[in-house]
Structure 1
Amino acid sequence: MKLLSETTVLITGGSRGIGAAIAERFATVGMRIVIHYLEAHEAANEVARRCITLGSEVMTISADLRSKEQLRRMKEKLDAEGFIPDIVVNNAGVSYYGLFTDVTEQEWDACMAINLKGTFMCTQLFVPHMVRQRYGRIINVSSVWGITGASCEVMYSAAKGGINAFTKALAKELAPSGVTVNAVAPGAVDTDMMKHLDEEERISLQAEIPAGRLANPDEIASLIYFLALPESSYITGQIISPNGGWQA
């Protein structure tokens, strides 16, 4: 079991929102951090600068999670720089909103490729290292809609529901090797994904949530940080939903 300062965490989609908050939370304890992004180069660098200020070693890296070849090259770069992840936070994802009858095959494939296939391929790439050292953490960022389903978000709900099933099954497979697998399934979080709401819709949504507000990304990051700690070794196969009592 490594010291926190000797532990490396890879955060996919780490250039903004929940991903950026996760990176900064891990940086407060001096973990070595890999910030993955697709195209947001400058945003990833800005997150990296904040993490470095907090005392962490940081590497930023770009890869399309839908491409096995790009993921292979990403791993080669991380291996070469000595940034081999002990913790993988599968945070990258996209949301889709619209009537089920309007969904095209191309949209369905794109949603599954980013949200579900990307999680599968990225996890598969780094599990062998964790198994060899008999220690590791895989934390998947899901959604409350993966538990309850959401009208007009059938694709997104299906993809996140798949991540929840993936989490439970893989946790059983890896438990004998000292590797935990959990998912965090947030409710409404104040990130760019909520920007499609106008002010009236936002007020209406907050009124539905018993806590009376959207979550702050830092609150989600704190839960993910807890699941990554060595002392969380008996928590595995869990889908934990911080949602302010919205979906109990």
Structure 2
Amino acid sequence: MTEKKVAVVTGASRGIGRAIACELASRGMFVIINYNGSREKAEEVKAEIEAKGGEGEACQCNVADYEACRSFFKEIVRKHGHIDVLVNNAGITKDGLLMAMTEEDFSRVVDTNLKGTFHCIRHVSRQMLKQRSGRIVNLASVVGICGNAGQANYAASKAGVIGLTKSAAKELASRGITVNAIAPGFIRTDMTEVLSDKVKEETAKMIPMGSFGEPKDVAKAAVFLASEEARYITGQVLCVDGGMAM
């Protein structure tokens, strides 16, 4: 049994997930650093957490795989005894215009971003219901609210996450479990670094605050929603987007 609160962060080996994992660890939680591809990157996050006096462990699981998720959460409960926080951050993009988008590219994005979020909520909720407590934070996106040309699959998956968040919040509220979503705007990560300087400049003009956000901006919001201070907040979508969704 782990005495500290246990937080699971999916897709925590880089970008926003990494920032969230480090921030939760800095608040005294034991963090499960979930990754799918790179164990090396996940171990780097673990080392970063431990260097600052925190605790965590790297665990592989492809969230798009329903049975793998079942085993993943079962093992965490067996080892640590409880799961107090779940942050569904794992996500991928396969951008392209609708007329050129393949069915495979649409399905892969939905399988990870939307179904992956469902899989994790489905399997963690059993333990949280038993505990009569828990915090679930889902990563949506500003494009799930506003849409975005060239990202029909990603926008649809993130709009789905918002609907899933609200439905799960209604189902789980009576047992003291909150379910909220964060909708980041353009944040400086590997995903946005591939954009050309011209695209970055044009995008920045659409943001009232005039610049991209940092992963820590999203991490601070996630930590708040995962805390006791947010105990009476559920079913909400918090935009961390510099005013873009306005």
TM range (shorter): over 0.9
Matched with 2:122 is 124
- Picking from 10, 16, 19, the partner of 2:17 is 19
Aligned to 2:183: 185
* TM-score of the aligned structures, taking structure 2 as reference length: 0.95
Aligned length: 244
- Please say if 1:224 is aligned against 2:203: no
Residue 122 of structure 1 aligns to which amino acid in structure 2? C
Q: What SS is found at the alignment partner of 1:139?
A: strand
The superposition leaves residues 85-110 of structure 1 with CA deviations (integer Å, 9 ceiling, x where unpaired) of 21100000012321101111111111
SS across alignment from 1:6: coil
Q: Which residue of 2 aligns with 1:64?
A: 62
Structure 2: how far apart are the matches of 1:217 and 1:127?
27
Of 3, 6, 12, 2:4 maps to 6
Partners of 1:83 and 1:199 in 2: CA distance: 48
TM-score by length of 1: 0.95
Residues 98-157 of structure 1: CA deviation (Å, up to 9, x unaligned): 110111111111111011111101111111111111110010001001111111111111
Q: Deviations over 1:16-75 (max 9, x none)?
A: 000000011111121110000001111100101111122222111001112122223322
**Hey, what does 1:137 align to over in structure 2?**
135
Q: Which runs of 4+ in 1 moved over 4 A?
A: none
Q: Which among 155, 162, 165 is matched to residue 164 of structure 1?
A: 162
Per mean C-alpha deviation after superposition, the further-off stretch among 145-154 and 200-209 is 200-209
Structure 1 unaligned regions, length at least 5: none
Question: What does residue 104 of structure 2 align with?
Answer: 106
Amino acid in structure 2 at the alignment position of 1:14: A
SS, match of residue 28 in structure 2: coil
Instruction: Choose which of 205, 208, 212 in structure 2 pairs with 1:210.
Output: 208
Q: What is the root-mean-square deviation in Å for CA atoms of aligned residues?
A: 1.3
User: Structure 2: how far apart are the matches of 1:54 and 1:128?
Assistant: 32
Cα distance in 2, alignment partners of residues 200 and 103 from structure 1: 24
Percent sequence identity over matched residues?
37
- Structure 2, unaligned runs of 5 or more: none
